[in-house]
Structure 1
């Protein structure tokens, strides 16, 4: 069975490292990026199935990056991650093409279920 390829984009490097390890132990190939530019470069070089995208990042935030990703790579599923939830932001992200809006911290097993669902619907 093909392993799901996930790009985790979050400026909190320690959070990314821990989450990436947890996902990899559950059979997911994870690449990480700590900013929008690094994320776009990774997407240019590698085929990804799903992007886990933090909403609040310095510089280009996750909302703007979501728009770029969906414009250039519409087939990639995007799961938004945030520590702060806002109904208006959820609606806005979903209107822009985000598959779901998830609250941090998230249980890795629950996240795997979400990732598999998005990956199945993205191809």
Structure 2
């Protein structure tokens, strides 16, 4: 089953390159260029993983993460940032991020994390349906 991924980043070139590389690996990929646009997509669709840039215009990645986790707790979010700090990483995990990666993200590592996210989400959805 193909991994369903939402990429959220305001850097157009980065977004297009990542989109293409993931699509070539058989993933079903959607894109958003802002936190608000991402929330609209999350409202209307489900994703195995959301790759979310921390530095977005308007609503930042932390704010978007909080809302995504409140609306769809089973969704796995991987945060990306160009300027990572230990504090940011800790904050991301507290807010429910599955992982935190520094840009430029190694595509191989990112793909592995997305595959793990899909498995985690399936387990959470299965547990919920058993309850």
Following TM superposition, by how much is the alpha carbon of 1:107 offset from its aligned partner in structure 2, in angstroms? Answer: 2.0
- Specify the alignment match of 2:19 in structure 1: 20
- The aligned runs of 1:75-86 (5 Å cut-off) are 75-86=74-85
Unaligned runs of 5+ in 2: 123-131
- CA distance in 1 between counterparts of 2:101 and 2:77 reads 11
Deviations 1:55-89 (A, max 9, x none): 00110000100000000010100000011111111
- CA distance in 2 between counterparts of 1:37 and 1:64 reads 10
Using structure 1 for the length normalisation, give the TM-score: 0.96
Unaligned runs of 5+ in 1: none
Q: Spell out structure 1 runs of 4+ moving beyond 4 A.
A: none
Using structure 2 for the length normalisation, give the TM-score: 0.90
- CA distance in 2 between counterparts of 1:56 and 1:111 reads 18
| RMSD between aligned residues | 0.8
Larger Cα-atom Rg: 2
